[in-house]
Amino acid sequence: RASPAGSTIASLLLMLSFAVLGASTALLAGASAPAGANGVVRPRAAVLLAEAAATTDEQKASGISWDSHQYVDQAPESLIRDDDLQGANQDMRRRFEENCRRAQNAICKAVSELDGAEFREDVWTRPGGGGGISRVLCNGNVFEKAGCSLSVVYGSMPQDALQSATSRGADRAKGYAPGERVPFFACGLSSVMHPRNPMAPTMHFNYRYFETDGGVWWFGGGSDITPAYLFEEDIAHFHQTYKDVCDTHDPEYYARFKKWADEYFTIKHRGETRGLGGIFFDDQNDRDPEAIFAFSKECLDSVVPAYLPLVAKHKDDSFTQQQKEWQLMRRGRYVEFNLVYDRGTVFGLKTGGRIESILMSLPETARWEYSHEPAAGSPEAEIMDAFKTPREWAK
């Protein structure tokens, strides 16, 4: 059996494996990349190095990079810069940031009260505007790791890169000539909570607002739950909380956003979902922005009542070493999804975001067992069925 690995080992090994697998296979087999414009055939390793250099060049062009942030002792009153751009919704930008900061304070306070430990806070700014406030609780009494981070980003991206982040083909490059870079603004609050006890579920949420300098705007977000063991009443509570919120704003929201979450959080190479879903939405600009802002606000306000009672219920449950190992294997699946498929991770890496904030979602410990299959009729097999066949949880 493999032994549990610390976050540094687990995350780095997986990241490196995905990054260099193609290169190592090609080199061992003597393979080369296709010929370039000059007809010269380059080894695969050279191609990867060229891609890495292109990524660095892209970060420079975007105006932000891995090391462009500056740490400050105290968060400024606002991370929003004063723009006089025609079409920029400065009022929405400021109110969305204010709401994210309010929610961050409330959620971190509730988590600290349950855990008994405090969050570490890091604050940074960028010369071109924006910055972030990251709060992480590590090695707590209830949570192995809990993070809640605010980000405000000003940058620019190529049109194809910006378009790749969309779910339904929204025209994010409106107002720009083909090939022209698109300046953008983004503000969001993201969180992942990893409890110690395998009977208590992991939870993730992210709510965000985007604008381009061309006047295109949209909202995105969602909350989802990832248990290692199935307690049907817990999952029903989480889903029902968000269905009630959805129904208040649009009776069609929950069915659409629940299905979207089931599809989005699928680990395609495993043929299973990361967890048991919740709601997920993106590219929302089909109605008054005030209406979508109000929906996002109520979703954020529902994080604590939807999730923390479940952790409080199970934080002191007894469990075996085998059950702990199963939790760590499910965390391994969490890592796979986040590093391979998660749109926010990809966006952060492409735009040169702060690495500690981008990878905050990863658990401190995870586990991979070779060709592991749960025993038939076991609690592990029961929840695997739910991961492979999404169910309806809310009434």
Give catalytic status of residue 204 as yes or no: yes
Which residue, 61, 73, 31, 65, is CA-closest to 48? Answer: 31
Contacts of 190 (CB under 8 A, 6+ apart): 148, 149, 151, 204, 205, 206, 208, 344, 360, 361
| Tokens coding 86 | 């025609």
N-terminal to C-terminal alpha carbon distance within the chain: 42
Task: Show the DSSP H helices in the chain as ranges.
Answer: 7-28, 44-62, 90-115, 159-163, 232-249, 253-264, 289-301, 303-314, 321-340, 343-350, 355-358, 379-388
> Are 156 and 63 contacting, i.e. CB atoms less than 8 angstroms apart?
yes
> Are 135 and 248 contacting, i.e. CB atoms less than 8 angstroms apart?
no
**Strand partners for 246:** none
Can you tell me which residue has the tokens 């919704």? Answer: 89
CA distance 296 to 96: 9
Residue 388 DSSP SS3: helix
Helices 289-301/232-249 angle, 10° precision: 150
> Are 214 and 268 contacting, i.e. CB atoms less than 8 angstroms apart?
no
Q: Which of 194, 204, 239, 314 is catalytic?
A: 204
Distances from the Cα of 54 to the Cα of 45, 51, 60, 173, angstroms: 14, 5, 10, 22
CA distance 39 to 135: 51
Backbone angles phi, psi at 83, to 5 degrees: -110, 140
| Tokens coding 230 | 């199935």
Can you tell me which residue has the tokens 């940058």? Answer: 155
Q: Which residues are catalytic?
A: 204
